Structure 1
Amino acid sequence: MLDIFRGLKNLIKVTYVHIDSPVFRLHYSITAMILIAFSLIVTTRQYVGNPIDCIHTKDVPEDVLNTFCWIHSTYTIKSAFNKTVGVEVPHKGIDNSKAKAEDKKCYMYYQWVCFCLFFQAILFYTPRWLWKNWEGGKIHALLMVLDVGVCSEIEKKQKKKLLLDYLWENLCFHNWWAYRYYLCELLSLCNVVGQMFLMDRFFDGAFITFGIDVLRFMESDQEDRWDPMIYIFPRMTKCTFHKFGVSGEVERLDSVCILPLNVVNEKIYVFLWFWFLILTVLTAGCVLYRVVIIVSPRMRVYLLRLRFRLVAREAIETVVRRSRMGDWFLFYMLGDNVDCVIFRDVMHELAARLAHHHRDVIDA
Structure 2
Amino acid sequence: MAFRALSKVKLKVEVKPVVDSFAFRLHYKYTLLIFLVSAFLATAYDLVGKKIDCMTPFDDPEEECHCEEDSFKEAVDAYCYIMGTFTVDRHHGGKIGVDVPHPGVGPYYGTEAVTYHGYYQWVPIVLFFQGMLFYLPHLLWKVFEGGSFRTIIQNLSIRDYLGSGDNIKNYFTRETQFDELMKYISNHGISHHAWALAFFFFETLNLVVALGMIFFTDWMLGGEFLFYGANVMEVIGMDPLNRTDPMAYVFPKMGKCTFKYFGSSGTIQVTDNMCLIATNVVNEKIYLFLWVWLLLVASVSALWLIMRILMVAIPYLRQSFLKMYVKKEFHRDVATIMETASLSDWFLLVNLGRNMDRMVFSEFIEHFAKESYPEANEIEMDDVGIGRPLSRT
Q: Indicate conservation of the 8 Å contact 1:305/1:313, yes or no.
A: yes
Distance between the aligned counterparts of 1:35 and 1:48, measured in 2? 20
Distance between the aligned counterparts of 2:280 and 2:15, measured in 1? 37
Q: Indicate conservation of the 8 Å contact 1:234/1:262, yes or no.
A: yes
Unaligned runs of 5+ in 2: 1-13, 59-68, 382-387
Distance between the aligned counterparts of 2:281 and 2:329, measured in 1? 55
Aligned position for 2:52: 52
Aligned position for 2:64: none
Q: Structure 1 residues 144 and 15, CA, compared in 2 at 3 Å: closer, same or farther?
A: closer
How many residues are paired up? 348
Deviation at 1:310, TM superposition (A): 4.8
- Residue 97 in 1 paired to residue 108 in 2? yes
Distance between the aligned counterparts of 1:147 and 1:259, measured in 2? 57
Query: Which amino acid in the other structure matches residue 289 of structure 1?
Result: M
Trace 1:1-364 onto structure 2 (pairs within 5 A). Answer: 16-58=16-58, 59=69, 61-101=72-112, 103-150=113-160, 151=163, 152-156=167-171, 157=174, 158-171=176-189, 173-220=191-238, 224-310=242-328, 312-356=330-374
Q: Deviation per CA, 1:36-95, whole angstroms, max 9, x where unpaired?
A: 111112123334432111112435522211111100101111111111121221111111
Distance between the aligned counterparts of 1:225 and 1:214, measured in 2? 11
**Structure 1 counterpart SS, 2:367:** helix
Query: Which amino acid in the other structure matches residue 317 of structure 1?
Result: A
**Structure 2 counterpart SS, 1:162:** helix
Deviation at 1:173, TM superposition (A): 4.9
Q: Deviation per CA, 1:96-153, whole angstroms, max 9, x where unpaired?
A: 122424x111101111001110111111011101111222223211123533433334
Deviation at 1:159, TM superposition (A): 3.5
Unaligned runs of 5+ in 1: 1-13
Distance between the aligned counterparts of 1:123 and 1:216, measured in 2? 31
Distance between the aligned counterparts of 1:149 and 1:308, measured in 2? 18
**Structure 2 counterpart SS, 1:82:** coil
Q: Structure 1 residues 94 and 356, CA, compared in 2 at 3 Å: closer, same or farther?
A: same
Q: For the aligned residues, what is the CA RMSD?
A: 2.3
Deviation at 1:171, TM superposition (A): 4.4
Q: Structure 1 residues 311 and 322, CA, compared in 2 at 3 Å: closer, same or farther?
A: farther
Q: Indicate conservation of the 8 Å contact 1:235/1:259, yes or no.
A: yes
Query: Does 81-90 or 167-176 show the bigger shift?
Result: 167-176
**Structure 1 counterpart SS, 2:270:** strand
Q: Indicate conservation of the 8 Å contact 2:95/2:241, yes or no.
A: no
Q: Structure 1 residues 192 and 225, CA, compared in 2 at 3 Å: closer, same or farther?
A: same
Based on CA coordinates, which of the two structures has the bigger radius of gyration?
A: 2
Tell me the TM-score normalized by structure 1. 0.89
Distance between the aligned counterparts of 2:347 and 2:249, measured in 1? 48
Q: Indicate conservation of the 8 Å contact 1:311/1:348, yes or no.
A: no
Distance between the aligned counterparts of 1:166 and 1:229, measured in 2? 58
Q: Structure 1 residues 46 and 223, CA, compared in 2 at 3 Å: closer, same or farther?
A: closer
